[in-house]
Structure 1
Amino acid sequence: MASNTPSTSEAFDTKPLLPFWDIWNMSFGFLGIQFGFALQNANVSRIFETLGAKVDDIPILWVAAPLTGLVIQPIIGYFSDHTWTRLGRRRPYFLAGAILASLSLLVMPNSPGLWFAAGTLWILDASINITMEPFRAFVGDNLPSRQRTSGFAMQSFFIGTGAIVASSLPYIFTNWFNISNQAPEGIVPDSVKWSFYLGGFIFLLAVIWTVAKSREYTPEQLHTFSKQQSETPLLHPTAIAASKRQKLLRQGFMFSLTGVAFTLWFISRDLNKELYIFSLGILVMGLLFVAAGVVAKDKSEGSAFVMIMSDLQNMPATMKQLAVVQFFSWFALFAMWIYMTPAVTSHLYGTSDPTSKLYNDGADWVGLCMGVYNGISALVAFIIPVIALKTSRKLTHMICLLAGGIALLSVYLLPDAKYLMLSMIGIGVAWASILSIPYAMLAGSLPPRKMGYFMGLFNFFIVIPQIVAAALLGFLIKQFFNGEPIYALVIGGLSMIVAGLLSLRVEDQDDH
């Protein structure tokens, strides 16, 4: 925030300030979530290659993860907005997702085949999403506007702390405990297996801590705090006007025709199968809009499905602006997560053989470096609120994203793998900002009664770039860059720089 003068949104936010340890406890579960997320990001491509996947096939195997988030997060957000149990509103979802994710982490490194591993990734990512989405709304529920940047920064701290340990686990088990990082062809090394076992235990334990040590405001208290009687009336599917139903149908037909046209063009040119994810995704989105427009005309118009599709068309202006920033930010991140291991092992270690010691040494080094950028983000998380307070959140976000983009580009120029640690500094700065500032800006523009739902809907603009990356990166690398994965990092760096420049367009409701 640029000043200490309360904004309009703060004036209606009468929640009391929470002490440091309350914010700590309500965010602690993210330590466990990031254990699962970091193990997935740093090791799943390695597991896929071990089980026989080719480099240009890896993106298609990853696509289940973002597709799962696209479906799960808005649904979980909607139902958590309408839940109240003895455990509260968001905490039942924390716990259920943590149990499922922990079990998936035990299974993943023991996958007997490639497609079994891909299916386990789907279950793991769904479970992480069930836990993670309500955590974002948890901050909006419990903290007043002027503490939200600090609240999301605390989550960033635990994300960074969890990830630096989790990403380093295979390296630690190999070099400190002499657990082998090599195995026969088609078998995941023991160092990776034990990393996943420990990660599953810590995931569950950390989430249980938050469930036990935090509290939630009742719906009645939230109603009082947010003075909802002064809010602009919320769009509800039962109140959708004929013009809005026509808009659903019109956009639906437009997306559907575009998706069909792209699909037919890809077929006529006999292009890579990954591109069908892109075209069929557009077609499916169009069919969903059409279905919502049709359903909204009958007695079922009050359904959650119609609400999701209608509000997707009628998002707050800040959310729309952030959506574009998120698209380019997460496209870059997904390029890094998919390709960092094969890019470093081939470009800096000179091998693409996953059974070789040189490859596995390189993969371990990548895991350790991934841990470093997360460690940097944990430290930077405490600095970001201070910089944002003295400047603005969008300027702070731009600076951080530019640092990340330049760092990704630098990997191509490194003379030796040991310098990869330097690149991780810029990536860590960007990661800390991506995990906190967009959510802090978004929360101030959302109606409190739909905080979980809109936070889940916001995930569309994390997932869609991931789907685009999974659909396009393999094709681009194979067609234009001779199959060399290092160029995926170059594309990602340019994408993150674009995201940084676009962040200056965002209207921050609390930034006055």
Structure 2
Amino acid sequence: MKLTKPRLSFWQIFNMNVGFLGIQYSFGLQQTAINPIFLYLGAPEDMLPILNIAGPVTGLIVQPIIGAMSDKTWSPRWGRRKPYFLIGALIGSLCLFAFPNSPVLWFAVGLLWLLDVGNNMAMEPYRAFVGDKLPEKQLSLGYQMQSLFVGAGILLANGSIILFQKWFGGDIEVAGKIPQWLYYSFYIGGILSITTILWSVLKTPEIPPTDKELADINHSKSLGFAHRVKEPFTEIIDAIKDMPKFMWKIAGVYLFQWYALFIYWQFITPLFRQTLNYSTSEAAAQAAKMNTTYNVVTMLVALALVPLTMKFGGKKVYALSLVGTAIALFSIPNIQDPNMVLIPMVLFGIGWAAMMGIPYTMVSKVVSQERRGVYMGILNMMIVIPMGIQTLSFGPIYKYLLGGVATNAIMFAGVFFVIAAVLALRLNEPNTSVDEVDIEEN
């Protein structure tokens, strides 16, 4: 059956992705501010990986289940994917308002679990939402636009940390207490999380399901409660059994790529405490500058990758970007100047732009419309499983194999990016989408 999707204008695609700004602002705070908060509240460095287990576990459970549920959802008023990322954004907003008020470590760790549930609930159906709306020839633009907002959201989060630390961060650090200047970034995130999602919800209508899809959805609703609870899990298992070989290859790349990224986010603050002899606040501010730099680059190059992938192929651009990210990580521990150490983040930013867009474009072409939600959830399982492995395994690796030295941790991550780049060269891109699509100009 032919699926006809209208071609959207640049600004329609822009409005559709604005909600990603708030989601990624929240993730930006997780990358830069959460681990310093754990350190402020007394966490030892070798405990940072296990304290971050919330992200992998909630992603593994929440994203595929929400994806499968959204595939079987339709409301003429609320749509298919929108109800899920609206609820997720609301949960995320409430957690962001509460987070800087954490009185003790266990409270902050518990809030991270709730925050990750909200963020994962919002993000997974958002990926499917873009694939639902766009014809094949606009998928690259749609997902690279998401990559742009990934950069913008994380940029704003890190930029706010830098500014507030500069303006209000003169107080002496007190053990067991979160500095007041960190509060403001979280409050801004709480506002952005819900308002940007509402913008996209109100500006972008969803495409109604086909008659066959609607019949399947209505049939699902007519079944008993026990069956409806079990159905998402059955959908996930069946989808994994039928999963295209291409996605199994992506899983290999993601294993090393996301393991390495989690190392970077956890140990960049400890690295600067070592290499620049900074306090925790100074190191957190320097890490925020690093993350701000690479996300500025991500914003600038995200859309520029669209013609490059069309000319040279997604896998070549993707693999080369992973090599560049490895070079950046090999360089950072060997630079002792706080300004010069920002230069490698240009390569990191190009890599981040590719990671956030190219794989989703490629996968959207090999999965069917009626299973897009569950497969985007499975793709994100491929992100959180490596993160889960990292949180469970890297603490002992860091303490016993790498000597508890943050420099060695960042170099270790660089090696994993090289391996990911080699595996990316094995990705044979599909020539056409699974869904046969006609493109109509508005």
TM over 0.5: yes
Q: Please list the CA deviations of residues 195-232 of structure 1 after superposition, one character each: whole Å capped at 9, or x if unmatched.
A: 101111111111110111111000128969xxx9xxxx
Matches of 1:117 and 1:301, distance apart in 2: 31
* Distance change >3 Å, CA 359–CA 148, structure 1 → 2: same
Q: 2:26 aligns with which of 14, 31, 36?
A: 36
The answer (yes or no) to whether the contact 2:5–2:134 under 8 Å persists in 1 is yes
Aligned to 2:384: 463
Q: Which residue of 2 aligns with 1:388?
A: 309
1:333 maps to which residue?
A: 261
- Residue 173 of structure 1 deviates from its aligned partner by 1.3
Contact 1:153-1:385 within 8 A present in 2 as well: yes
Q: Which residue of 491, 499, 503 maps to 2:412?
A: 491
Matched letter for residue 200 of structure 1: G
Residues 30, 501 of structure 1: CA spacing in aligned structure 2 closer, same or farther, 3 A cutoff?
same
5 Å-filtered alignment, 1:397-416, equals 397-416=318-337
- The correspondence of residues 32-431 of structure 1 with structure 2, limited to 5 A, is 32-85=22-75, 86-175=77-166, 177-180=167-170, 182-220=172-210, 303-346=231-274, 348-351=275-278, 358-431=279-352
Q: Percent identity?
A: 37
Is 1:156–1:432's contact at 8 Å kept on the other side of the alignment? Answer: yes
- Post-superposition Cα deviations, 1:47-71, rounded to whole Å, max 9, x if no partner, equal 0010000000111100121100000
Superposed CA deviations along residues 219-258 of structure 1, whole A, max 9, x for unmatched, are 128969xxx9xxxxxxx9xxxxxxxxxxxxxxxxxxxxxx
CA distance in 2, matches of 1:214, 1:186: 45
Q: Deviations over 1:266-307 (max 9, x none)?
A: xxxxxxxxxxxxxxxxxxxxxxxxxxxxxxxx9999732223
Structure 1 counterpart of 2:17: 27
CA distance in 1, matches of 2:136, 2:320: 23
Task: Give, in angstroms, the shift of residue 134 of structure 1.
Answer: 0.7
Does the 8 A contact of 2:92 with 2:118 survive in 1? yes
Structure with bigger RCO (C-alpha 8 Å, 6+ apart): 2
Equivalent in the alignment of 1:434 = 355
Sort the Cα spacing of 1:301 and 1:167 in 2 relative to 1 into closer, same or farther, 3 A. Answer: closer
| TM-score normalised by length of structure 2 | 0.91
Structure 1 residues 149, 13: CA separation in 2 closer, same or farther (over 3 Å shift)? farther
- The question of whether the paired residues in 1 share the 8 Å contact of 2:269 and 2:280 is answered with no
AA aligned opposite 2:399? K
Partners of 2:102 and 2:431 lie apart in 1 by 48
Gap runs ≥5 in structure 1 = 1-10, 229-235, 237-297, 352-357
Aligned to 1:417, the other structure's residue is in SS state: coil
Question: What SS class does the counterpart of residue 59 from structure 1 fall into?
Answer: helix
Contact 1:94/1:211 (CA < 8 Å) preserved in 2?
A: no
In the aligned structure 1, how far is the partner of 2:308 from the partner of 2:195? 33
For residues 350-388 of structure 1, give each alpha carbon's deviation from its aligned partner in whole angstroms, at most 9, with x where no partner exists.
25xxxxxx3312211111211111111111101111101
Which residue, out of 432, 453, 459, partners 2:374?
A: 453
Q: How far has the Cα of 1:410 moved from its partner?
A: 1.0
Aligned to 2:438: none
Q: Describe the shift of the 1:313–1:181 C-alpha distance in structure 2 as closer, same or farther (beyond 3 A).
A: farther
CA distance in 2, matches of 1:400, 1:122: 31
The verdict on how the C-alpha distance between 1:345 and 1:511 changes in structure 2, with shifts beyond 3 A counting, is: farther
- The separation in 2 between residues aligned to 1:100 and 1:300, in whole angstroms, is 24
Q: Deviations over 1:391-412 (max 9, x none)?
A: 1011110111111111111112
Aligned CA RMSD, in angstroms, stands at 2.2
CA 1:320–1:492 in structure 2 vs 1: closer, same or farther (change >3 Å)? Answer: same
Find the residue that maps to 1:425 and give its secondary structure.
helix
Residue 475 and residue 14 in structure 1: after superposition, are their counterparts in 2 closer, same or farther (change >3 A)? same
Structure-1 separation of matches of 2:101 and 2:312: 49
Report if aligned partners of 1:180, 1:190 keep a CA contact under 8 Å in 2: no
Code of the residue aligned with 1:330 in structure 2: it is W
Q: Is the 8 A contact 1:393 1:511 kept in 2?
A: no
User: For the Cα contact (< 8 Å) 2:402–2:409, is it kept in 1?
Assistant: no
SS at match of 2:344: helix
Aligned residues: 423
**C-alpha separation in 2, matches of 1:89 and 1:359:** 44
CA, structure 1 residues 181+384, in 2 after alignment: closer, same or farther (shift >3 Å)?
farther
Whether the 8 Å contact between 1:344 and 1:417 is mirrored in structure 2 is no
- What residue identity is the alignment partner of 2:56? P
